[in-house]
Amino acid sequence: MSEMDRDELMAEVRDLEIKAKRLSRESFSGEYHTSFKGQGLDFEDYREYQHGDETRFIDWKVTARMREPHIRTFREERELSVMLAVDVSGSGRYASGRLSKKQKAARIAAVLAFCAKHNGDKVGLLLFTDRTELYLPPAKGTKHVLRMIREILGFVPEGKGTSIAHACDFMIKTLKRKSLVFMISDFMDHDFSRKLGAMSRQHETIAMRVYDPVEEALPMVGKVHLTDPETGYQTMVNTNNANVRMGYSKLNRRRLEGLQRVFSKYRIASMETSTEEDFLPALHLLFKRIHK
């Protein structure tokens, strides 16, 4: 990376830090806190049984020793372990406008990371393509969050393809405690349903689809050469042909319907946002749906 590229990257990180801190503090911190509860109960103490207490919490050894019924009391374990799994495959570099999908993903991840930080939760990062590119275990602190943002924006992956199944398998094997996983991707992949379902049974999983408007509907710009950034496959398409545009839209609609069926099957909460739109309304709506 050249000195100019480094300066541009650090300027973008600083800009993201300012915006994400403000958004997480002013707009999302409370919603995040109420939407995502602690992952369990920690034993706190014993006390005498009172009318109305649940009998399943009676500790029979203590009861025998004290000769009075005693129950175990617990406190909620509020601290969460949050993982941001970000797709950095070749398709994420595409941008028909100001921002690429990768840059948009970094903005979403920054807000989520600062929300976690402000609520005292640990947050980690997985960058993936068709392999594990980078793993930062969950930790606390502003320095850690800033490093995560810097890595999402500036990391140069070895792989170009996408394997959501591999990312899910990695987290299933690596995360030892129940965690909250935000999967940020364009989900342009296949054969990942079973692994995504397995991860969602082990960890609370939220799917966040980032897309470019041109991927949803081909514009009429005549004959264009298209290159798949993940495979390198090239083809020429006449975008002025109505049948071509209709066929493209139909294929894309089927793909998205299939994706929603996967999310519904495994009860995975999801949101989607374009690189050209404000993602905050979608994030607000997601938090409200989860809180219900």
Answer yes or no: do 212 and 277 share one domain.
yes
Dihedral of alpha carbons 153, 25, 183, 185, sign: negative
What does the DSSP 8-state code read for residue 26?
Answer: I
- What is d(CA 283, CA 105) in angstroms, rounded to the nearest whole number? 13
DSSP letter assigned to residue 46: E
pLDDT value at residue 2:
47
Choose one of 77, 101, 129: the last residue of a domain: 77
How long is the chain? 292
Query: Are 210 and 184 in a shared domain?
Result: yes
Last residue of a domain, one of 77, 102, 135: 77
72 and 84 in a single domain? The answer is no
pTM of the model: 0.78
| pLDDT tens digits along 42-99 | 556 778 888 777 777 788 888 888 888 888 876 555 567 899 999 999 988 888 888 8
Let me know whether 132 and 235 are in one domain: yes
Q: Indicate the number of domains in the chain.
A: 2
Task: For residues 267 and 248, state if they share a domain.
Answer: yes
Question: Domain containing 151 — which CATH number?
Answer: 3.40.50.410
DSSP label at 176?
A: -
Cβ-proximal residues to 28 (8 Å cutoff; 6+ apart), any chain: 111, 115, 283, 284, 287
Query: What is Dmax (Cα atoms) for the chain?
Result: 87
What stretches in the chain show pLDDT beneath 70? Answer: 1-10, 23-44, 74-79, 291-292
pLDDT at 177: 86
| Whether residues 48 and 189 fall in one domain | no
Res 286: pLDDT:
86
Residues 227 and 284 in one domain: yes
Q: Are residues 213 and 181 in the same domain?
A: yes
Shared domain check, 186 and 107: yes
Single residue among 23, 55, 77 that ends a domain in this structure:
77
Shared domain check, 193 and 49: no
Same domain for 25 and 57, yes or no, is: no
Same domain for 163 and 276: yes
Q: Which domain holds residue 63?
A: 40-77
